[in-house]
A = this chain, B = another copy of it.
């Protein structure tokens, strides 16, 4: 018995499929009309199906001319590190671990040496001073954002 959420998922998958560049932009209200559901069900579908761990990025903008943009990342054929990171929601990352990770990314030529240095600077405890007890969580978030940005470049 297919749920509405599933239908919406399939519809989005279909239009991503049809798009070149694996990116699709749509409006939440339009979609909710098309499927006769409340707008927030669209968020439900996005949150449960189009997650980073499944290889999607969802961006949005509110207000006039607002939109939802769903980007499918070419994640399947990437190496293990990247995959791991994309799936790191809620995990922590110490300064040392981050530094090691960045180092590996540089060694594997995912980042240039300079990119590595700049990222390390930003990931240092001293830069995350204000976040105190959350800093290892925040650091993980920053690294994830970094990795997603890299993946996004295709």
Contacts and interface: CB of A to CB of B under 8 A. Distances in A.
Nearest to A144: B127
B130 A145 contact: no
Interface string A86-119: 0000000000000000000000000000110111
Interface in A123-154: 124, 126-131, 134, 137-138, 141-142, 144-146, 148-150, 153
A118 B121 contact: no
A122 interface: yes
Interface residues of A, number: 38
B65 A1 contact: yes
A148 B131 contact: no
Contact of A121 (B6, B64, B148): B148
A128 B6 CA distance: 31
A135 B73 CA distance: 27
B6 A65 contact: yes
Contact of A149 (B121, B142, B149): B121
Q: Which 6 A-B pairs have the closest CB atoms?
A: A3-B65, A121-B149, A127-B145, A121-B145, A3-B64, A122-B142
Given A117-B153, A128-B138, A130-B131, 4 more contacts: A122-B122, A122-B145, A131-B134, A142-B142
